[in-house]
Chain A
Amino acid sequence: MSAAPAIAAAGLGRDYGRVRAVDAIDLQVQPGEFFGFLGPNGAGKTTTIRMLTTLLHPSRGEARVAGGDVIDDSLAVRRRIGVVFQETTLDLDLTAEENLRFCTRLYGLSRRESKERIDEALRLFGLTDRRHMRVRSFSGGMRRALDLARGILHRPAILFLDEPTLGLDPGQRRRIWAFLQQLVAEHETTLFLTTHYLEEADPCDRVAIVDHGRIVALGEPDELKRNLGRDRIDVRTDRADDFVAQVRELTGLEPQRAQHGLSLFADDAGSVVPRLLPLTAQGVEIGATHPTLEDVFVDLTGRGREAA
């Protein structure tokens, strides 16, 4: 954590007329970090990404990205970042290769470099045999893969991804994720991504949860889950009534009814589960779940939203 941060934002905010899209974002992302930016729709994720990628002028605050100020050095910043938008930026009437070549020309890559990188990118995303096919004929997953390939052709130091797996099926999502993790590992690319598939944020080094244009939680996924505390221990039985007293006696905790039997809440399931093991002799199943990021997310944003 000694090098200058890849992304540093202070009080970054943006209004549209009277609508306050982003209130004030403070964050630092270290080089090589895999950073997740989570929040419900309308929380200000996309606006934040647009400010960090110099596409949108902030109404207040400041941000430095890849060593440059997003307003004063926007060209330098754009040279060192890649952006993959929520919607595709591909030209559907062009082939995969033509789309990528359009991009390498924009970044002024030489003909040879361009060819090498395009070959590599197509291979990496399994699109080599579709090279000369028009993008219109591609499935959503292939388009997204090609979009990602486009985003990394110029080897950016930081890659911004806005909902990279939106609308993809689970298999395609897994492939995209595997690739992103590989990218971090091999090229030490800093990744900044937004998502609202919360389980996807688990591989992130750190996660910020944003709501109403502010960061409401920031930390490692495990840390965030720990702060929520409360593992859940399930006692699975269809004779719940018979076990309430026993469970209470063995653990000292108050069990709650659930469809599968009984549930207990504890800070650390590991210390509770062994005490319940004697019950397994009577045909009871014991299970435990850690809170997921989804639980953290609901805890921080969801309930407040009901009133909104």
Chain B
Amino acid sequence: MIGAITAVIIRELTRFQRQRGRLVASFARPLLWLVVIGAGFEKLVPTEGTVSYKQFLLPGLFGMVVLFSTMLTALATVHDREFGPIRMLLVAPLPRYVAVIAKTVSSAILGVIQAVLLFPLIWILGLHPSFGALLELLGAIALGSLALGSFGMVIASRLRSIENFAGIMNFLMFPMFFLSSALYPASLLPGFLQPLVRADPLTYAVDLMRHPLLRGLYPGNLGTDYTVSFDVMVLVLFAVVLIALASLLFGEEEHLGRILLVEPPRAKGRRLPRPRLGLRRRDGASGSPVPLGEATPAD
């Protein structure tokens, strides 16, 4: 089981390191938010404490990186299942939950790596966390990645094809980002949105990351929403329940069967040429009196 999980992690890391575009995107997106949104909001939001809006926003951007990374990895799972390597996992003598855990853990690791690559921003924005606080931040990112990674796996297990990507982006990733505490303290959102805010794992992940970064500062209106132990508890609960759910959903092959057999959702242009049945006689006698070749099997 450990071997299998290691195998999946090594594979994901190797792929990640070869996909330069992904790395660039994972850098560019949060920087854009920081520079543009951060600067704009900073002018608008009155600060009551010693925390600047950009400093407040930083954990939200770590959360964003983790959210996008884990969701993209989850979507890659859908592609994998249609075309490739995940089927090696499915025919290997491993229980389904091992495949799910392996995928979740590797997705979380990629999320952590990408967030850590942005760590220099901490000092650039004038924060000086202690070494202990940095470790705490790392732990928060890891736990948040795990919770979001398992959430991604549940989504992936129900997705028919990667073509739903735009829908996922618009109706899941962005709402999750905006409804979390990433851009503003969650408590500022109106009451009718609160149920959604509280159902969003990103809310707790960002909150947990914000604790060590803003510790010792006087945040005023730009503070954390929950206690550390509450955040940890909720995230662990999310991770455990969602991994269990994803294992259940992946174990049930009905869905997989539908995807692979009845409605193959092939991306255009990737379709293999469907070979015709070789219903020609080998002797090549064209004037064969035997009626041949009319048989075109229905697809």
Contacts and interface: CB of A to CB of B under 8 A. Distances in A.
B124 interface: no
A94 B13 CA distance: 11
Interface in A245-261: 256-260
Interface in A83-137: 83, 85, 87-94, 98-99, 101-103, 105-108
A19 B94 CA distance: 30
A99 B11 CA distance: 8
A19 B289 contact: no
A263 B299 contact: no
A102 B88 contact: yes
A125 B278 CA distance: 27
Interface stretch (A3-11, A28-36, A194-202, A218-226): A194-202
B89 A40 contact: no
B43 interface: no
A91 B282 contact: no
Contacts of B92: 78, 103, 106-107
B288 interface: yes
Contact of B287 (A21, A81, A98, A260): A260
A294 B279 contact: yes
A292 interface: yes
Contact of A42 (B275, B285, B299): B299
B294 A306 contact: yes
Given A88-B84, A234-B285, A16 B253 contact: no
Interface in B112-143: none
Contacts of A150: 88
A87 B265 CA distance: 13
Contact of A91 (B84, B257, B279, B298): B84
A260 B285 contact: yes
B3 to A, nearest CB: 5
Interface string B1-31: 0011011001100110011000000000000
A87 B19 contact: no
Interface stretch (A174-182, A272-280, A297-305): A297-305
Contacts of A19: 262
A258 B256 contact: no
A281 interface: no
B273 A88 contact: no
Chain B binding site: helix, strand, loop or mixed by DSSP?
loop
A46 interface: yes
Given A93-B19, A106-B4, A55 B275 contact: no
A172 to B, nearest CB: 14
Interface in B227-272: 253-254, 256-258, 260-262, 272
B251 to A, nearest CB: 10
Contacts of A298: 279, 292, 295
Contacts of B260: 46, 50
A258 B287 contact: yes
Given A88-B83, A91-B15, A257-B289, A16 B262 contact: yes
Nearest to B80: A91
Contact of B277 (A40, A46, A81, A166): A40
B93 A76 contact: yes
18 contacts: A75-B93, A75-B94, A78-B93, A83-B91, A87-B83, A89-B84, A91-B15, A92-B84, A98-B14, A106-B4, A166-B275, A257-B289, A258-B285, A287-B283, A289-B283, A294-B282, A295-B292, A301-B295
Given A93-B18, A301-B297, A306-B295, 13 more contacts: A21-B261, A50-B260, A89-B88, A91-B11, A91-B85, A93-B14, A106-B88, A150-B88, A263-B288, A263-B289, A294-B279, A303-B294, A305-B296
Interface of B: 3-4, 6-7, 10-11, 14-15, 18-19, 83-85, 87-95, 253-254, 256-258, 260-262, 272-275, 277-283, 285-290, 292, 294-299
Interface of A: 14, 16, 19, 21, 40-43, 46-47, 50, 53-57, 75-76, 78-79, 81-83, 85, 87-94, 98-99, 101-103, 105-108, 150, 166-167, 196-199, 232, 234, 256-260, 263, 287, 289, 292, 294-295, 297-298, 301-303, 305-306, 308
